[in-house]
Structures are given as structure tokens and as C-alpha cells.
Amino acid sequence: MSTIDWAVLILTLGGIIIYGVYKSRSSRNLEGYFLSNREMPWWIVLLSIMGTQASAVTFLSAPGQAYTDGMRFVQYYFGLPFAMVVLCITFVPIFHKLKLYTAYEFLEKRFDVKTRTYTSFLFLLSRALSTGISVYAPAIILSSLLGWNIYLTNIVMGGMLIIYTVTGGARAVAYTQQLQLIIVFIGLIIAGYMVVHFLPANVGFTDALLIGGKMGKFNVITTGISEKGFDWTDRFNIFSGVIGGFFLSLAYFGTDQSQVGRYLTAKSVRESRMGLLMNGIVKVPMQFLILLIGVLVFTFYQFNSAPVFFNDIPLSQLRESDKADSLKLLEDSYSSLSKEKQKLVADFVQQPNGSAESDRVTDQMLDIQEKQNSLREEVKQLVEKNVSKSESNDTNYIFIRFVLDHLPAGLVGLLIAIIFLAAWGSIAAALNSLASATVVDFHKKFINKNLTDEQDFRVSRWYTLLWGVFCVAVAIFVTGLGSLIEAVNVLGSWFYGVMLGIFLVAFYMKKIGGNAVFVAAIVGEIIVIGTYAFTDIGWLWLNVIGAVAVVFLAWILQVTIFASSKQGVKQI
């Protein structure tokens, strides 16, 4: 990175920390620290919700996803607007009416202490581990590409934000997320503009989309249905997106304290609802535009030489091994195919769309693309067999590699800063929510119930700091663990469905009590993990399975084993 990039990076990150500390004034009590005195307007709630959901990997991974697999990933968000509506109808009014600090308090009011504690524990377990990974995942990418020390990068990625998160609580988190998102969007718009700007003079924006589309990257809507019927292992299609995405979004926004804590900061039910509904309106187009950058980057590489593999570190290792000749052969073949394709793409742009000549050139382009995909696959196999399995997927490296190789000085620093800011936004909210669940659901419940406001405030700060240190420690610990990280990435889906099932029973099945739902939740968890371990079913479906299993089992248990027992049945 150049001096100007370093200056932009340091100024942006330093500015956010100073702004966060400046915005740290809050009442020295639980409501002030965790819920910003419940005084936020809807647009701050909206930006806070978006900043919490969009992690660094969102911005690193989505364009790479579009580059390799096309736009169909956007379907993953189709269930989200439906979930926002259900939350506004059911969850939000009850959470506000009961003046909750955490979502899990509601479960004690509705069921019993054990159900509340179990669900809060599931949240702490999954959120703490996934936050550790969300520190590590962008840190390993940046450290690989820029040659930074991974441990130091982990500390900057997960540690610097602790300063304002500990001092300012939810208020500092919300205000910094607002500024972070504005910078992120400005950076992405500039990046998108630059990709189009770098295309040949005779290639416009729609030409770029057409080239990407002809090469199979504009597959926004897919059904997952083939001659063999519906493919349950297909990760992203309109059905898994609407149904699986609905359950995932409902679980994430309705039962994960990192999100519930954001809209509980709103000054009224109206402001919470508006924040969530606006999220339902802007989320899909926002993801569409981020993916579109990936398609544009793909088109850019149709006119320029693309690396056969975007993470250079494992390639360097292969070059120093006895596989160097094999790699050289693959790289040379890929490069000559690229040159051949560049001529065809230049020819394609000259042809009227839909003409016989255009179709002929498209077929040739696709043929070369297929050969290149095979070569990329062979390189991945080489990496997997001779370096490590976890480094054989370069999707997350594609966009940042484009930034580093092609964007001018200053913009590189800004885009790197965006990765940090996106990470900080989601990690800060996670730390705030981990601390609130620990203080409210465990410390004040089981350790010390009679704390003064000032003691509450101090304990909350300490827990925020402890969770921050824990998450950085997880990030440092997983460095080098490889395949374990992939498992942790789907960890949320192991728990979200079950947690959602518990809340659905609480809201909609008034005659089911705490004992039935508690046993159903434990059995449901075993079913989900068993399904994950013994089938290839797409992970989005795990959320559906978990929720349906808990609802169904709780009902069966209530009408059989717990039929005579009214214990645990409470009405709100």
C-alpha cells in the first residue's frame, strides 16, 4: 500500500474511534448503556440494523460470489421482507410493551427460567464463536494479501472498536454504525464506477451487463428445479430464498440479541417498526447492487487477464514445491485461453445482440469459459491437496484482489478501511448484545440481583470488555485451524431454527408450557445437528427444520406427556 493509502486508512479508522468516543455520553445505568435510553429515531435504528447484519465478509464475499456463481445469491434475502412484517406485527409490540432488555427475558415471562436461560445460552455460544470468526475471516484475507501480521491484524480488526463500544455502549455503537455505513456505501459506489470506467471505451454499462449475462452471471432468479426434480442441496434458489430465508431472517432479527438490541433502542413501537420495514425495503436492492459490482468485475476480467486463482499465498507455496511445474502449466493454459477469449469478447461487442453471429461468438466464449473453469478447479485441487483445504476457496479474495491490483492510490486505502468499518459495525453490536445477555440473563439473575444503577453500568462495561477480549482470543486461536472455520460459519444455522421455534411457540401457541417447549428445544437441537452431520441438505433449510421440529414436538409433548401438567403455562 502507498503512503496515501495508509493515510486514508489511519484517518478513517482513527476518525471513527474518536467519533465513537465523542458520542459515548449515555446515562450511567442499564437502559442508557444497553438501549441508549430507548430514544433513537427510526433511521438510526435502520442504519444500526443494517450495520449489524453487514459484516466485512458481506462486502468481501458478495462480489466474489457473483464473480464465481452469478447473481443468484440475492435470492437468499427474499425471505427478509416477509420476516420484517411478521416481526412488526408480533415481536416488536410485545418486546416494547414488556420493556425488555433482552429477547430472552420474554421467555421467562411466558415459560420459565430454564427456557430463558437455555435460549440465552444458545445465543451466547453461537454469537461469541461467530463473532470470533467475523474478526478472523477478514483479518486472514487482508494479512494474506498485504503481508500483514495475522495476530496484529486480528487485534486491529477486533480490538480497536472495543474502545468506543466499552465507553459508549449502544449509543456509540449506533452512531458509529451510521457513519460507517455512509463511508461503506460511498466507497462501493466509487468502486462500481471505477470498474465501468476501466472497461474499453466502446463498452458501456449495459454492454458490461450483457457480457456478464451471456457468461451466466446474471442468473438473478433460479428455481433449483431440473429434470430430476427439486434439488434440496442447491443453496440459493427462489424457494430456499423465500422459505429458508424467511425462517433465517425471522430467527436472526427476532431472537438474536445483536439485532433485537438494535430495535429496542428505538423511542417507540412506531420507530422500531419503521426501522425494520425500511430494512425490508432497502436490503434486497442493496445486496443486488453489491453483487452487481461482482458481475462488473467479472466483465472487467473478460477484457483483462485474470489470475487463475485470486489468493496468491497458496500459489507461492505451490511454486516452491514439487508441484511448481504443474501449476505453471495450468497458469499458462489459463492465460492463453484468456487472450483468446479477450478477442472473442471484443468481437462480441461489435455484433448486434441476438444476431446469428453474436450467438456463435457467445457459444465460443462459453466454451472457453468452461475450459477456464476446469483449469481453476484443477488449481483448487492442487491447493487443497498440497497446501490446505481451507485455502482452496478464493471467492473472498476476488474483489479485494481487484481493488489492490487495479484501483488508484487513495481508493485502495478507502476500500481497506471499508473492510475494517464493516467488521467493526457488526462486531461492536455483537459485543454490546453479548454483554447485555450476560448481565441481564445471568449476572443479575444468578450472581447479584441487587446492583445499583452505577454498579450495573460498571459491570456492563466490564462484560463488554471481556467479550471483546474473548472474541479476539477466538480469532487468534482459530488461526491455522482451517476446516473448523467452515463448520463455525454454519454454526448460526444449528441454533437459529431452534431458537425461533421456542419464540414461535411462545407467541402463537398459548396452551403450551415451559416443560414441553424446553424438552422440544433440546430434541430439536439434536435433530438439527444430526441433519447437518448426516445429510447434504442446504444449510438454509436447517433453520426451517429446527423451527418446525420445536413447534411440532412441543405440541406433541404438551398433549401427551405434559397433558396433565399445567406447570409452566403462563399468559402474557
Identify which of residues 97 and 343 has a Cβ nearer to another protein in the complex: 97
CA separation, residue 240 to residues 68, 78, 84, 147, 218 (Å): 20, 9, 17, 39, 19
- Tell me the closest approach of the beta carbon of residue 322 to another protein, in angstroms: 43
Q: Looking at 288, 442, 470, 555, which residue binds another protein (CB under 8 A)?
A: 288
CA separation, residue 54 to residues 28, 86, 88, 322, 543 (Å): 29, 21, 21, 41, 20
Identify which of residues 86 and 435 has a Cβ nearer to another protein in the complex: 86
Q: Which residues are bridge partners to 226 per DSSP?
A: 229
H or E stretch at 260: helix 257-263
Give the range of 93-101, 126-134, 431-439, 487-495 binding another protein by CB under 8 A.
Answer: 93-101
The 10 Å Cβ neighbour count of residue 508 is: 10
Residues 375 and 423: their CA atoms lie apart, in Å, by 33
Q: Looking at 44, 62, 274, 435, which residue binds another protein (CB under 8 A)?
A: 274
Q: Give yes or no for residue 528 binding another protein (CB under 8 A).
A: no
Q: Give yes or no for residue 328 binding another protein (CB under 8 A).
A: no
Closest Cα partner for 251 from 532, 548, 556? Answer: 548
Give the range of 155-163, 164-172, 276-284, 323-331 binding another protein by CB under 8 A.
Answer: 276-284
Q: Looking at 57, 84, 172, 293, which residue binds another protein (CB under 8 A)?
A: 84
- Tell me the closest approach of the beta carbon of residue 507 to another protein, in angstroms: 9
Q: Give yes or no for residue 81 binding another protein (CB under 8 A).
A: yes
Q: Give yes or no for residue 268 binding another protein (CB under 8 A).
A: yes
What's the one-letter identity of residue 147?
G
Give the range of 280-288, 390-398, 414-422, 441-449 binding another protein by CB under 8 A.
Answer: 280-288
Q: Give yes or no for residue 218 binding another protein (CB under 8 A).
A: yes
CA separation, residue 181 to residues 51, 277, 486 (Å): 6, 18, 27
Q: Looking at 85, 113, 182, 561, which residue binds another protein (CB under 8 A)?
A: 85
Q: Give yes or no for residue 213 binding another protein (CB under 8 A).
A: yes
Residues 469 and 483: their CA atoms lie apart, in Å, by 23
Q: Give yes or no for residue 548 binding another protein (CB under 8 A).
A: no
Give the range of 76-84, 450-458, 491-499, 528-536 binding another protein by CB under 8 A.
Answer: 76-84
Residues 549 and 556: their CA atoms lie apart, in Å, by 10
Q: How far is CA 180 from the centre of its chain?
A: 16
Identify which of residues 94 and 337 has a Cβ nearer to another protein in the complex: 94
Q: Give yes or no for residue 204 binding another protein (CB under 8 A).
A: no
Residues that bind another protein (rule: CB under 8 A) add up to a total of 35
Burial of residue 227 (CB within 10 Å: 0-12, 13-18, 19+) is exposed
> For the packed helices 113-146 and 150-159, what is the interaxial angle rounded to 10 degrees?
130
Start-to-end C-alpha separation, the chain: 58
3-state DSSP assignment of residue 14: helix
Q: What is the DSSP string of 301-318?
A: HHHSPPPSSS-HHHHHHH
Q: Give yes or no for residue 225 binding another protein (CB under 8 A).
A: no
CA separation, residue 561 to residues 174, 507, 552, 567 (Å): 46, 22, 14, 12
- Tell me the closest approach of the beta carbon of residue 89 to another protein, in angstroms: 6
Q: Looking at 37, 58, 68, 90, which residue binds another protein (CB under 8 A)?
A: 90
- Tell me the closest approach of the beta carbon of residue 108 to another protein, in angstroms: 19
Closest Cα partner for 358 from 366, 370, 347? Answer: 347
Say if strands 225-226 and 229-230 run parallel, antiparallel, or are unpaired: antiparallel
Give the range of 91-99, 148-156, 319-327, 477-485 binding another protein by CB under 8 A.
Answer: 91-99
- Tell me the closest approach of the beta carbon of residue 234 to another protein, in angstroms: 16
What is the per-residue binding string for another protein in 56-75, x denoting contact by CB under 8 A? ------------------x-
C-alpha triplet 314, 153, 430: angle, nearest 5° = 115
Give the range of 264-272, 367-375, 545-553, 563-571 binding another protein by CB under 8 A.
Answer: 264-272
Q: Give yes or no for residue 277 binding another protein (CB under 8 A).
A: yes
Residues 458 and 253: their CA atoms lie apart, in Å, by 28
- Tell me the closest approach of the beta carbon of residue 209 to another protein, in angstroms: 5
Residues 315 and 327: their CA atoms lie apart, in Å, by 8
CA separation, residue 271 to residues 282, 284, 413, 490 (Å): 16, 21, 36, 32
Q: Give yes or no for residue 97 binding another protein (CB under 8 A).
A: yes
Q: Which residues are bridge partners to 230 per DSSP?
A: 225
Identify which of residues 93 and 159 has a Cβ nearer to another protein in the complex: 93
Q: Give yes or no for residue 214 binding another protein (CB under 8 A).
A: yes
Q: Give yes or no for residue 94 binding another protein (CB under 8 A).
A: yes
Given CA atoms 180, 184, 217, 134 in this order, what sign does their dihedral have?
negative
Q: Give yes or no for residue 289 binding another protein (CB under 8 A).
A: no
Closest Cα partner for 302 from 368, 236, 244? Answer: 368
Q: Give yes or no for residue 182 binding another protein (CB under 8 A).
A: no
Q: Looking at 27, 58, 219, 369, which residue binds another protein (CB under 8 A)?
A: 219
Q: Looking at 30, 88, 129, 160, which residue binds another protein (CB under 8 A)?
A: 88
Q: Give yes or no for residue 238 binding another protein (CB under 8 A).
A: yes
Q: Looking at 183, 269, 473, 491, which residue binds another protein (CB under 8 A)?
A: 269
Residues in the chain: 572
Identify which of residues 219 and 333 has a Cβ nearer to another protein in the complex: 219
Q: Looking at 1, 7, 17, 82, which residue binds another protein (CB under 8 A)?
A: 82
Q: Give yes or no for residue 205 binding another protein (CB under 8 A).
A: no
Q: Looking at 89, 329, 484, 490, which residue binds another protein (CB under 8 A)?
A: 89
Residues 251 and 499: their CA atoms lie apart, in Å, by 7
Residues 435 and 84: their CA atoms lie apart, in Å, by 25
Q: Using an 8 Å Cβ cutoff, are 145 and 5 in contact?
A: no
Q: Give yes or no for residue 293 binding another protein (CB under 8 A).
A: no
Q: Give yes or no for residue 212 binding another protein (CB under 8 A).
A: yes
Binding site for another protein (CB under 8 A): 74, 78, 81-82, 84-85, 88-90, 93-94, 96-97, 209-210, 212-214, 216, 218-221, 238, 268-270, 273-274, 277, 280-281, 284-285, 288
